[in-house]
Amino acid sequence: MLQAVTSRVIHQHEYPVSAFEFTESKFRQFLSEAKLGRKARTLFQSSSEIHAVILRLVRKISMQFPGYENPEVPLLVTAIYEGITARQVCGDSGATPLEMDAQFLYAVLKRMEDIARYNVHAVDQAGDGHRWDAVQGGNLVDWASRQADRSIVFVPKDFVSPGEISFARSAIAVSVLDMRIAQALDIRIS
């Protein structure tokens, strides 16, 4: 039996360290440019817990982290869009606001599996570098700020096991979710 073989164009993304500076105003501009500004702002105003989780997520992975399926769209844009869509579908079926918030966060955190699909390096002009690890490396924004005179490069991995994907998603969830919020929203980490 023949199987279809698909090839993936390798998109390597490189950013100066200064691109990782985080401010609330840069984040609002980021959401606005992604056409998520009004919807996200309304959601964040209605749920301070969701706002807090998303801000921790921005600091954890940055606004620059590329999406895997469409590397030209930042991972956070895809995740927030999918979260808003899931929340709306949940609300249309008569769910409570708490259930809608849980669905939003579940969709956002599910998309975080894409983090496992990239290697992230800080590279100097000679090509020497350091690797950031999503699980053990702390916040990408903080790590990037300590990489003076280097560029931050995102390179898709050739292969990622299902275990790595699941582990990365769980590690990100644990790092950004307050357990009180997870319990209140009845979110399962894995």
Write out pLDDT tens, residues 122-166.
Answer: 888 887 888 888 777 678 888 888 887 788 999 999 899 999 988
Residue 1's pLDDT is 28
Residue 41 burial by Cβ neighbours in a 10 Å radius (0-12, 13-18, 19+): middle
Residue 7's pLDDT is 36
Q: Do residues 154 and 66 touch, judged by C-beta distance below 8 A?
A: yes
Domain 13-184: top CATH class: mainly alpha
Write out pLDDT tens, residues 58-111.
Answer: 989 999 999 988 888 999 999 999 999 999 999 999 998 888 988 999 999 999
The residue ranking higher by pLDDT, 186 or 78, is 78
The residue ranges of every structural domain in the chain are: 13-184
